Amino acid sequence: MAYSRADLRGSTLLGLRHVPILSFCGAAAALRCVRAYGAIAALMLARIFAIDARALAALRIGVCCVALLDLTLRVPDLSAHYTDRGMLARADALTWFRGYHDWTFCLHLIGGALWTQIALFALHAAALLCMLVGWHTRAASVGAWLLTLSLTVRNPFLSFGGDVLLRSLLFWMMLVPVGAAWSVDARRTSERPLSYCGIAGAGLLVQVWLVLFLSGLPKLGVGAWLQGQGLAFALDQEETARPLGWWLRSLPSLNAALSWTTVVIELVVSTLLWLPAWWLRVACVMLCWAMLAGIYATIDVYMFPMLTAVSLLVFVPARSWDWMEESFLRSDAGRGTRADHMAEVMSPVEPETGSSTAIRWSAGRYVREALAALAIVYLAVWNVGLWRGGESYEPPQPLAWFGRAAMMRQSWAMFTEFTRTGWFDAPGTLADGRAVDLLADGGPLPELEDALSAAQQKGRPADVHAAYGSTRWLSTFKIMRQFPDKDAHFAYYGRYLCREWNRRHSGYDQIVGFQIVFHGRQVGAHLDRMPVLEDYTSTVLWTHDCFQ
């Protein structure tokens, strides 16, 4: 089902006008009547579920930019996170994360050396770049999706919500024509559909809505949010609070208002997106963006707000894109060749050919739509199951296989569990008895001087958020803290620190052993004042002997 923009605007009324007359003309007419009503229903659905080709193109460009940014930010820790000399060797990953690896495939396991990982990262970047410019878009998006899954599975200690959203979006983007506008592919073909309406498109819209709606819904079951303190609690988590958020934490009345605003936007505004009035959609997208900008400014949840903002582009209606294109082209008119070139790239289609082009139903499209239908069923069953059955829910078999193999298991409950917040350090002893702090750089192996000087500094770091090496390291430590009874986490990390430190240092500089200590306090216990050192209790999570 693909409709041009002209169809979508005018024909609903046209259908309605003929139906009552026809319905009196016997059985044959009744059939025609059913068909007519079917057509009306289809058009109504199309008004809701059609996505403008330019919206898909904007989504493609946005997601690729975020994914490329993420890939770049992973590069500094390439060796520490993904090679056999890092914190999780391949054998350890396969032993510890059996559950993951039984279902999926992981290209990043083919080699443990740095060069293999560099080659795979280059391949990943190439796939994303191809997708960004829209060159062989479908193949590139399949490649990008596979490599994204593979990268996540290589080191599951690093994952968090943003990764789940990224791979879900990439999954849907494989199935919809994201390269239909603003792409190299579109320039090389005359078949340029204006909009796309299909099962996969509906799935994409549902996915984008679910992220917002399901992060709002669980908040209604949490006392802190019902009392209007949810935001303050979220901001009280020092690991993720940015300076602006830390300041905002101490303003109770503003907090309460913003808490409720957040819940309303997540639940109500996101749902209003489904109404096919263009102005309403624009307004709702704007409100959601405002909320996401607020989150971005106050809390560091890495690429999550950016990705969510980008994903909301699919709800932006054709009229806005028309308006943007017109104003963009007018302002650029006559500015020389570059503007002309841009105009040619940006303009989706000429009016006369536009109305006749539709996406044909090829065999490939049947497969894609069937896959999309399966994924929608999965999302429905999974989310209902998760709501009723809790974390341990497992869907019935074919769906369970799909969910694990395509890694579509997802949970969007954010900021609903508030436990402890604080910072880590790893006091260790060198062969000659000197004290070092192996977490001087917040995760990666520090230099000797840094480790020595960090061991002298006691007390709360001035900026707890900055004390973590990167968001990926933060995720590692969060997972470690969540499962303190599972020794393997610490054992792998500890082995990495010992092995690499002693590979680089010899004699008296070698490390003998160390502890991993968490200094934490209860979130939301003292919202009225700044935390003092007495609030924190230190817990030794792990003791490691390097020469065991």
For residue 518, give both structure tokens. Answer: 């968490």
Say whether residue 69 binds other proteins (CB under 8 A): no
The H-or-E segment that residue 318 falls in is helix 318-332
| Side chain identity, residue 42 | A
Closest C-alpha to 441, from 451, 452, 449? 451
Collapse the DSSP code of 220 into the 3-class scheme (helix H, G, I; strand E, B; otherwise coil) and give the result: helix
Contact region with other proteins (CB under 8 A), list: 12-20, 106-114, 161-169, 465-473: 106-114
Contact region with other proteins (CB under 8 A), list: 22-30, 82-90, 291-299, 467-475: 82-90
Of 25, 35, 76, 102, the residue at the interface with other proteins (CB under 8 A) is 102
E strand segments, 321-383: none
**Rounded least distance, CB 97 to other proteins, Å:** 10
**Residue in this structure with the two tokens 């019902």, named with its chain if needed:** 226
Of 1, 45, 109, 452, the residue at the interface with other proteins (CB under 8 A) is 109
C-alpha to C-alpha distances, 243 to 122, 192, 464, nearest whole angstrom? 35, 47, 10
Select 109 or 339, whichever has its Cβ closest to other proteins. Answer: 109
DSSP state of 299: B
What is d(CA 222, CA 413) in angstroms, rounded to the nearest whole number?
11
Of 64, 106, 205, 211, the residue at the interface with other proteins (CB under 8 A) is 106
Spatial contact of 221 and 415, defined as CB atoms under 8 Å apart: no
How many Cβ atoms sit within 10 Å of the Cβ of residue 131? 31
Say whether residue 525 binds other proteins (CB under 8 A): no
Spatial contact of 255 and 249, defined as CB atoms under 8 Å apart: yes
At residue 52, φ and ψ (nearest 5 deg) are: -65, 140
Instruction: Name residues contacting other proteins, limited to 37-66 (CB under 8 A).
Output: none
**Rounded least distance, CB 500 to other proteins, Å:** 13
Select 15 or 112, whichever has its Cβ closest to other proteins. Answer: 112
- What DSSP assignment string belongs to 501-526? HHHH--GGGSEEEEEEEEEEEETTTT
Of 89, 272, 339, 376, the residue at the interface with other proteins (CB under 8 A) is 89
- Provide the CB-side half-sphere exposure for 530 (13 A, CA): 7
**Rounded least distance, CB 101 to other proteins, Å:** 6
E strand segments, 431-480: 435-437
Select 127 or 285, whichever has its Cβ closest to other proteins. Answer: 127
List the helix and strand counts (H, then E) for the chain: 27, 7
Say whether residue 95 binds other proteins (CB under 8 A): yes
**Rounded least distance, CB 130 to other proteins, Å:** 21
Say whether residue 101 binds other proteins (CB under 8 A): yes
Q: Report, in angstroms and rounded to the nearest whole number, the Rg of the chain calculated over CA atoms.
A: 27
Say whether residue 113 binds other proteins (CB under 8 A): yes
Select 154 or 281, whichever has its Cβ closest to other proteins. Answer: 154
What is d(CA 189, CA 174) in angstroms, rounded to the nearest whole number?
19
For residue 506, give both structure tokens. Answer: 């010899």
Closest C-alpha to 302, from 422, 420, 164? 164
Say whether residue 94 binds other proteins (CB under 8 A): yes
Say whether residue 112 binds other proteins (CB under 8 A): yes
Residues 6+ apart with CB under 8 A from 252: 232, 527, 528
Contact region with other proteins (CB under 8 A), list: 42-50, 107-115, 221-229, 414-422: 107-115
Say whether residue 84 binds other proteins (CB under 8 A): yes
**Rounded least distance, CB 103 to other proteins, Å:** 8
Say whether residue 105 binds other proteins (CB under 8 A): yes
**Rounded least distance, CB 86 to other proteins, Å:** 12
Select 94 or 280, whichever has its Cβ closest to other proteins. Answer: 94
Torsion of CA 372, 390, 401, 314, to 10 degrees: 20
Contact region with other proteins (CB under 8 A), list: 104-112, 464-472, 489-497, 503-511: 104-112
Select 504 or 526, whichever has its Cβ closest to other proteins. Answer: 504
Say whether residue 488 binds other proteins (CB under 8 A): no
SS (H, E, C) 20-70: HHHCCCHHHHHHHHHHHHHHHHHHHHHHHHCEEHHHHHHHHHHHHHHHHHH
Of 30, 41, 48, 110, the residue at the interface with other proteins (CB under 8 A) is 110
Instruction: Name residues contacting other proteins, limited to 145-164 (CB under 8 A).
Output: 150
Say whether residue 111 binds other proteins (CB under 8 A): yes
Could you tell me how many residues of this chain bind other proteins (CB under 8 A)?
A: 22
**Rounded least distance, CB 259 to other proteins, Å:** 45
Select 367 or 405, whichever has its Cβ closest to other proteins. Answer: 405
Select 113 or 254, whichever has its Cβ closest to other proteins. Answer: 113
Select 90 or 472, whichever has its Cβ closest to other proteins. Answer: 90
Q: Which residues bind other proteins (CB under 8 A)?
A: 84, 89-92, 94-95, 101-107, 109-113, 115-116, 150
